Structure 1
Amino acid sequence: MASRSLFLSLRRRSSNCSLSRLLSSGAASTEYVDEYLNNSETDDLKSRIFRLRLPKRSATTVIEKWVGEGNRVSISDLRRISKELRKSQRFKHALEISEWVVTHEEYKLSDSDYAIRIDLMTKVFGIDAAERYFEDLPPTAKTSETYTALLHCYAAAKLTEKAEELFERIKGLALSISALTYNEIMTLYMSIGQVEKVYLVVEELKRHKVAPDIFTYNLWISSCAAALNIDQVKRILDEMRCDSSCNDGWVRYISLVTVYVNASHLSNAESSSPIETEKRITQREWITYDFLVMLYAGLGNKDKIDQIWKSLRMTKQKMTSRNYICISSSYLILGHSKEVGEVIDQWKQSNTADFDISTCNRILTAFTEVGLTEKAHDLHLLLIQKSCSPTSKKSYIGV
């Protein structure tokens, strides 16, 4: 222990001496040294970059300093750090890492590197900069990934005309296109309310023999739900069951969507009933939000579910049991029992929707049937705590 203490003391003393020489020589800026002094016990490239709290500080300077000290850095390390920076919305620093890689010819950029760079350019400098960067790429770098990355930027900004033009351009090229490209244009149509165009994209995807993924099906289902076409939703679910790509995740998704559809109580008469014009959000938008919540639950994105739930509670539209079930079961899937209890309380106290225990029982049954017995058990206990008296079944309580 004594030898370890002596080692740490000498290490700190050596570090301080090095920093003193660095300051006196003017080799680094004061703001960088301030960051370097923090958390000196953890000293690797990732830690140094993440200690750059302010966007104006340069990740490039940190990398150059790291390499200048004789440390090696691999492109896989830089990709990993960039990914974590993007998750933390530190887009400028992530772009600076990309810039540094580009200026060092010993590193070879992959198609994904170029695609990520386009997305970062959009976030930091805007779409115009991303467009110029894309157009200046060498022909070998203009792949399905980079085209799709630019399409994603257009779709996110709801630039419909540009997105459609690019989509047509992509289809005219000899590129191997995956479902992701089609999903981007479908997402755009959903976001701008042109849900009727989603099916046209699905038809085109099938005509070109591109395999749909779970997100393709989710967008297709969402468009049908937004159009109150519940019968079509059921047909899509049947198609998913027959898809050779269907896996355990798909099976769970199909089961949960089936529950939401069965809980919606939407009949043809209800579908044709007029929507009150003074409502700020229509019934078809409600259903779209329900499926968006399901999508975000599948992605594990609680923040997005929180945002949607907050927005829906602030509208004048009457909530139904379907809305409450969608939110509560999504929170339950993500393991947030406290939020599930809060949703149940709001549901019970609501003057605009009757609390329907039978739908809760269907959720319990569905969760059990798809193997989520622990989640079913948690919901069962919550319902008992809220004096909801759910149907008692052995499979719910694990006995």
Structure 2
Amino acid sequence: MMMMAKRVSRVLPWMLAGVERRLCTTVETAAEEVETKEWKPLYRRLSALGKAPKGSVVETLNGWLREGQAITFNELMKDVRELRRYKRFDHALELMDWMEKRSMMFNEGTHAIRIDLISKVKGVDAAESYFNSLPEVVQSQLTYGALLSIYCQVKMEDKAMSIYEKMKELNLTSKTLVHNNLLALYSKLGQPEKVISLFQEMKSMNLSPDNYTYSILINNYASLNDLNTVEKLMHELEEGHKDVLDWTIFSNLASLYLSAGFPDKTELALKKLEEIRNKRDRMPYHHLISLYASIGNLAEVNRVWKLLKSSFEKTTNMSYLVMFQALSKLDDVDALNQCFQEWESARLSYDIRIVNVVIGTYLVKGMIKEAEFLWEQAKQKGAGSDFRTFNHFIDYYLKHDISSALKCLETATDLVKHDEWKPKQETVTAFLKYIEETKDVDSAQAVYKCLKKLNCIFEIVRVETKARDSDCIFETFQRN
């Protein structure tokens, strides 16, 4: 086995990079719609619902019919797939429920999609109940596969293996996708030996691994600190299985070399990635920019950035976000400022994620006035703030201005709805440390009020105070 500069970590942020396809039972398709000023097609209306509550989809569909517009099963399923693609699971399920009430007949594939949606909206138990209610004729490889995929996603190993054994009894395991689900499960569970064993089982069944299969396999060999086998496997693929090689595999390989401390091999893998990239897909460019930034190669970051901008008619906010993160990682504030001016002049929607990257960089550099000005500018432009913005400023103020940190905490707390944010453990620890050192009763009461409203006071204070009563730390300060 080759000597390594540092041990490969089991989980890497770029592992399975770009293989974001859902392990589901049907192939996703994109429905292209045309919109005119006078009239919006159905999907545009559904898409515009945003986070509208339950019933809004039904109202939209009924309104469409009242206008005398035609509606077909295939068109509706395209809309379901699009909503699902953008993680609008509740609306997609509501649409399918409406279709059922209209007596539209589902086939095996559409039942499989519905099983997946039910699990995401109502939970695994509801998905199981739906599957069990299906006629035997549609309890097929697709619907069994959908349930298997759910179990694997939520790491329910016993149920996953149970249904897999049932599928073997019914001769329903002839698809690579079935085994990819199991490979992904054991990869998530941190059992690389099991991944390798299942891969050998696939080969014995004469199943053809795809690029997702090999991505998982490569990452698990790396987690065993066996880059020598990884390189042998890559050589075999390049020699005899080029059909399964795509840019994602080389992105994963570059990440592995990066983690192991081999910058030269990382660059070689990135060159391969660039050679076979899909030129109509922005994702390979994003990964190239991020990985080159990770090895500190600003020249290559800038080159790929120019290549990306010249390859597409429009540079999206996501592409800018990737570039901002790269420049922040490279600690190049001047280039960051220049890129920010370019982004603003592009007149794209004012994306708070991009602003947060710049704010975070400014605060690390101690540029508090610049960061505060940018925050105020974002508010004026209607971008508002998200909780990452507050996290940045709270972290900074905790080191320099406790009253401002507390004010930020209170403001963020007032904005929270439906348990969507809690302060980081380190943030709470810093507040409690300040209170213990200063015996500041007013701050103690203010922090306690925020934590109680956020429903995290008991959990956090128990950790910090070795299981004392949740009010003790604050009552002590009052007595002193």
Alpha-carbon distance in structure 2 between the residues aligned to 1:173 and 1:209: 18
Relative to structure 1, the CA distance from residue 73 to residue 341 in structure 2 (aligned partners, 3 Å threshold; closer, same or farther) is closer
* Cα-Cα RMSD: 3.9
Relative to structure 1, the CA distance from residue 184 to residue 301 in structure 2 (aligned partners, 3 Å threshold; closer, same or farther) is farther
Residues 111 and 143 of structure 1 are in contact (CA less than 8 Å); yes or no, is this contact kept in structure 2?
Answer: yes
Higher relative contact order (CA 8 A, sep 6+): 2
The equivalent residue for 2:79 is 81
1:346 aligned to 2:329?
yes
Residues 260 and 322 of structure 1 are in contact (CA less than 8 Å); yes or no, is this contact kept in structure 2?
Answer: no
Residues 195 and 217 of structure 2 are in contact (CA less than 8 Å); yes or no, is this contact kept in structure 1?
Answer: yes
Relative to structure 1, the CA distance from residue 56 to residue 301 in structure 2 (aligned partners, 3 Å threshold; closer, same or farther) is farther
Alpha-carbon distance in structure 2 between the residues aligned to 1:151 and 1:75: 26
Alpha-carbon distance in structure 1 between the residues aligned to 2:321 and 2:101: 50
1:55 aligned to 2:49?
no
Relative to structure 1, the CA distance from residue 59 to residue 253 in structure 2 (aligned partners, 3 Å threshold; closer, same or farther) is closer
Alpha-carbon distance in structure 1 between the residues aligned to 2:48 and 2:187: 39
The equivalent residue for 1:234 is 231
Within the candidate set 200, 224, 227, 2:221 is matched to 224
The equivalent residue for 1:137 is 134
The equivalent residue for 1:91 is 89
The equivalent residue for 2:211 is 214
Alpha-carbon distance in structure 2 between the residues aligned to 1:260 and 1:82: 35
Q: What amino acid sits opposite 1:65 in the alignment?
A: G
Q: What amino acid sits opposite 1:250 in the alignment?
A: L
The equivalent residue for 2:146 is 149
1:250 aligned to 2:245?
yes
Q: Tell me the percent identity.
A: 28
Alpha-carbon distance in structure 1 between the residues aligned to 2:90 and 2:248: 36
Residues 324 and 344 of structure 1 are in contact (CA less than 8 Å); yes or no, is this contact kept in structure 2?
Answer: no
The equivalent residue for 2:114 is 117
Please list the CA deviations of residues 27-68 of structure 1 after superposition, one character each: whole Å capped at 9, or x if unmatched: xxxxxxxxxxxx993333223323434122331232233224
CA displacement at 1:345 relative to structure 2: 5.9
Residues 264 and 322 of structure 1 are in contact (CA less than 8 Å); yes or no, is this contact kept in structure 2?
Answer: no
CA displacement at 1:229 relative to structure 2: 0.7
SS in 1 for 2:172: coil
The equivalent residue for 2:429 is none
Runs of 4+ off more than 6 Å: 297-302, 326-331
CA displacement at 1:175 relative to structure 2: 2.3
Please list the CA deviations of residues 308-350 of structure 1 after superposition, one character each: whole Å capped at 9, or x if unmatched: x9xxxxxxxxxxx99924999899599447745753663579x
1:186 aligned to 2:169?
no
Residues 93 and 114 of structure 2 are in contact (CA less than 8 Å); yes or no, is this contact kept in structure 1?
Answer: yes
Aligned length: 268
The correspondence of residues 165-204 of structure 1 with structure 2, limited to 5 A, is 165-175=162-172, 177-204=174-201
Relative to structure 1, the CA distance from residue 228 to residue 137 in structure 2 (aligned partners, 3 Å threshold; closer, same or farther) is same
CA displacement at 1:167 relative to structure 2: 1.6
Residues 122 and 130 of structure 1 are in contact (CA less than 8 Å); yes or no, is this contact kept in structure 2?
Answer: yes
Within the candidate set 50, 60, 70, 1:72 is matched to 70
Please list the CA deviations of residues 115-148 of structure 1 after superposition, one character each: whole Å capped at 9, or x if unmatched: 1101110111110000010111111211222112
Alpha-carbon distance in structure 1 between the residues aligned to 2:72 and 2:135: 24
Alpha-carbon distance in structure 1 between the residues aligned to 2:301 and 2:166: 38
SS in 2 for 1:59: helix
Please list the CA deviations of residues 162-187 of structure 1 after superposition, one character each: whole Å capped at 9, or x if unmatched: 11211222222122531111111111
Relative to structure 1, the CA distance from residue 70 to residue 253 in structure 2 (aligned partners, 3 Å threshold; closer, same or farther) is closer
Relative to structure 1, the CA distance from residue 151 to residue 68 in structure 2 (aligned partners, 3 Å threshold; closer, same or farther) is same
Relative to structure 1, the CA distance from residue 348 to residue 178 in structure 2 (aligned partners, 3 Å threshold; closer, same or farther) is same
CA displacement at 1:203 relative to structure 2: 0.9
Q: What amino acid sits opposite 1:137 in the alignment?
A: L
Alpha-carbon distance in structure 1 between the residues aligned to 2:257 and 2:94: 50
Residues 155 and 185 of structure 2 are in contact (CA less than 8 Å); yes or no, is this contact kept in structure 1?
Answer: yes
Please list the CA deviations of residues 237-293 of structure 1 after superposition, one character each: whole Å capped at 9, or x if unmatched: 13323445x33x7154555556556666669xxxxxxxxxxxxxxxxxxx9xx9xxx
More displaced stretch, 166-175 vs 192-201? 166-175
Within the candidate set 30, 38, 47, 1:41 is matched to 38
Alpha-carbon distance in structure 2 between the residues aligned to 1:146 and 1:99: 17
The equivalent residue for 2:313 is none
Alpha-carbon distance in structure 2 between the residues aligned to 1:181 and 1:346: 39
1:324 aligned to 2:294?
yes
Relative to structure 1, the CA distance from residue 326 to residue 117 in structure 2 (aligned partners, 3 Å threshold; closer, same or farther) is farther
The equivalent residue for 1:19 is none
Residues 147 and 170 of structure 1 are in contact (CA less than 8 Å); yes or no, is this contact kept in structure 2?
Answer: yes
Relative to structure 1, the CA distance from residue 200 to residue 340 in structure 2 (aligned partners, 3 Å threshold; closer, same or farther) is same
CA displacement at 1:196 relative to structure 2: 1.6
Gaps of 5+ in 2: 1-35, 309-318, 333-480
More displaced stretch, 160-169 vs 174-183? 174-183
Gaps of 5+ in 1: 1-38, 268-286, 310-320, 350-399
Q: Under a length normalisation based on structure 2, what TM-score does the superposition of the two structures give?
A: 0.48
The correspondence of residues 12-31 of structure 1 with structure 2, limited to 5 A, is none
Relative to structure 1, the CA distance from residue 238 to residue 124 in structure 2 (aligned partners, 3 Å threshold; closer, same or farther) is same
Relative to structure 1, the CA distance from residue 174 to residue 227 in structure 2 (aligned partners, 3 Å threshold; closer, same or farther) is same
